[in-house]
């Protein structure tokens, strides 16, 4: 795959110095290679987006909505190929890969509807002062850079690409070098739909390509999803140019289980929160806070549930959990297993890599984990669950909030008044009550504290790519 970059409406060969090896994590073997984009090609992509901006932002909202619906339809037509690629390159079980695709389709459809409503958002503003009239315009912010992660390719890019195009922005998209192939579908769809050249550009690469894009002075905004360490670098480059950013970063989220909760139901929610995508989620509820009265029974059943999860190759087996997506992540999770042994943590399940080909680890549960343990405080990005007990509602809230992150949380209780009260007290961006982590495009996504800046999805996702202009006119 040499023509892996989509610039100004054309597929071009990479001219960078990095060769990207695309791996099947269930086998631990590469199945494709591509050359990264050069810094010069990043320049070309930004220039193409800049050139396409005037015409694209002037298109009527209904025309942009039609393109977005075209993206949704074309994704559906490519269903089996995209699901299979998601399984092969990311290691996701089929049911997870199918949900990813459905999420992307729904996102494009939702923002098509919001795009059609844009003309009604430009309105007259009533003024208290006589002799003046004013009106508000919502305008596209301009050329935007989109840098997306490897844990939810296709999905995270849809969350950014759809509202950006709906707003009238032009885009340079950089996929992760770990999962660079599936986002190529967006370029193929742009070709099939006749999207004007330069409106969407895709450049693949490693750190050099990402830095060239995030530092580029031709961007008007950057939206980044990924690690906190890289997010800090993105903020530094943005601050040098006073450029707006949206950052969706890490998490160390809590799931709070009260003793009035049905044990079997709670176990289902807990397992889903730590094993989905093999725990490679910024939203993984990796800190379990369980009330004393239910703790022994719940931990016993949770141990059995984790040990009974079917872990394997999603292309050849019926599995509940696939491998970790990269060798680097596999080594990182293994290092936390070693840290747990050094700290003397009590391991009820897992705690080791699996002795088979590919990058597999066991679903893991540690209990009575001290609050100063690295495993309690740091984002692991793997199926590693740490549990602590609590006595009172106040203690549960305090311990859940005692984190430098604030992305999501889950509350489990049959006392719905209490559950709502606790949800309101948690310092996070999204809370689930008695549920798995169902994410709907109409709701918002983003966090507080070290989990990022801004919101995606819902109307907030669209407004992230808009600027507000007021026009005031003297009537005299």
Q: Is 282:248 a contact under the CB 8 Å cutoff?
A: yes
Spans of the chain below 50 pLDDT: none
CATH number at residue 244: 3.40.605.10
Q: Is 387:290 a contact under the CB 8 Å cutoff?
A: yes
The residues that are catalytic are 248, 282
206 and 271 both lie in a single domain: no
Q: Per-residue pLDDT tens for 181-233?
A: 999 999 999 999 999 999 999 999 999 999 999 999 999 999 999 999 999 99
298: in domain:
yes
Residue 3: predicted pLDDT: 66
∠ Cα 23 29 35 (to 5°): 45
Task: Tell me the backbone φ, ψ of residue 165, rounded to 5 degrees.
Answer: -65, -40
Q: Per-residue pLDDT tens for 350-379?
A: 999 999 999 999 999 999 999 999 999 999
90 and 221 both lie in a single domain: yes
446: in domain:
no
390 and 466 both lie in a single domain: no
Report the number of distinct structural domains present in the chain: 2
367 and 409 both lie in a single domain: yes
Residue 123: predicted pLDDT: 87
Q: Is 405:252 a contact under the CB 8 Å cutoff?
A: yes
Cα separation, 15 vs 257, in Å, equals 53
The strand order across the sheet containing 170-174 reads: 10-12, 5-7, 200-202, 170-174, 143-147, 221-225, 245-248, 452-453
Which structural domain range is residue 308 located in? Answer: 254-440
352: in domain:
yes
39 and 25 both lie in a single domain: yes
Going by C-alpha positions, the residue among 320, 314, 329, 313 that lies closest to residue 226 is 329
pTM summary value: 0.96
182 and 300 both lie in a single domain: no
204 and 330 both lie in a single domain: no
Q: Which two tokens stand for residue 393?
A: 């509602």
Cα separation, 420 vs 431, in Å, equals 10
109 and 244 both lie in a single domain: yes
229 and 267 both lie in a single domain: no
Cα separation, 439 vs 445, in Å, equals 8
362 and 465 both lie in a single domain: no
Q: Which two tokens stand for residue 247?
A: 């950052």
53: in domain:
yes
398 and 463 both lie in a single domain: no
434 and 465 both lie in a single domain: no
206: in domain:
yes
CATH number at residue 350: 3.40.309.10
445: in domain:
no
């Amino acid at each position: 795959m040499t023509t892996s970059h989509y610039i100004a409406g054309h597929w071009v060969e990479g001219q960078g110095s990095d060769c990207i090896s695309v791996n099947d994590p269930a086998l631990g073997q590469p199945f494709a290679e591509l050359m990264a984009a050069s810094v010069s090609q990043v320049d070309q992509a930004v220039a193409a987006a800049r050139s396409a901006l005037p015409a694209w932002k002037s298109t009527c909202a209904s025309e942009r909505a039609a393109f977005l619906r075209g993206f949704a339809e074309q994704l559906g037509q490519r269903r089996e190929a995209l699901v299979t690629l998601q399984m092969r390159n990311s290691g996701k079980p089929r049911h997870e890969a199918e949900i990813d695709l459905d999420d992307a389709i729904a996102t494009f459809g939702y923002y098509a509807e919001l795009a059609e409503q844009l003309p009604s958002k430009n309105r007259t503003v009533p003024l208290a002062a006589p002799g003046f009239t004013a009106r508000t315009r919502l305008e596209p912010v301009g050329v935007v850079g989109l840098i997306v992660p490897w844990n939810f390719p296709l999905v995270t890019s849809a969350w950014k690409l759809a509202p950006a195009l709906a707003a009238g922005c032009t885009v340079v998209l950089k996929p992760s070098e770990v999962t660079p192939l599936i986002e190529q579908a967006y370029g193929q769809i742009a070709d099939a739909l006749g999207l004007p050249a330069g409106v969407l550009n895709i450049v693949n690469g490693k750190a050099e390509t990402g830095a060239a894009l995030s530092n580029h002075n031709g961007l008007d905004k950057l939206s980044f999803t990924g690690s906190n360490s890289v997010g800090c670098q993105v903020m530094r480059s943005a601050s040098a140019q006073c450029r707006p950013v949206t950052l969706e970063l890490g998490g160390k989220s809590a799931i709070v289980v009260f003793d009035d909760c049905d044990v079997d139901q709670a176990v289902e929610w807990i397992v889903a929160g730590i094993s989905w995508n093999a725990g490679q989620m910024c939203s993984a509820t990796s800190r379990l806070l369980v009330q004393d009265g239910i703790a022994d029974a719940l931990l016993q059943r949770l141990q059995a549930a984790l040990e009974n999860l079917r872990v394997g190759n999603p292309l050849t087996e019926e599995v509940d959990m696939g491998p970790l997506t990269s060798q680097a992540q596999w080594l990182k999770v293994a290092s936390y297993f070693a840290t747990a042994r050094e700290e003397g943590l009590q391991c009820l399940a897992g705690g080791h890599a699996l002795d088979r080909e590919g990058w597999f680890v066991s679903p893991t549960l540690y209990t009575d984990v001290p609050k100063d343990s690295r495993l309690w405080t740091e984002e692991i990005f793997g199926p590693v669950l740490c549990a602590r007990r609590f006595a009172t509602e106040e203690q549960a809230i305090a311990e859940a909030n005692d984190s430098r992150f604030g992305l999501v949380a889950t509350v489990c209780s049959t006392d719905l008044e209490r559950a709502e009260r606790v949800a309101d007290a948690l310092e996070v961006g999204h809370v689930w009550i008695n549920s798995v982590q169902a994410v709907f495009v109409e709701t918002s996504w983003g966090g507080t504290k070290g989990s990022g800046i801004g919101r995606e999805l819902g109307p907030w996702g669209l407004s992230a790519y808009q600027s507000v202009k007021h026009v005031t006119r003297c009537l005299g």
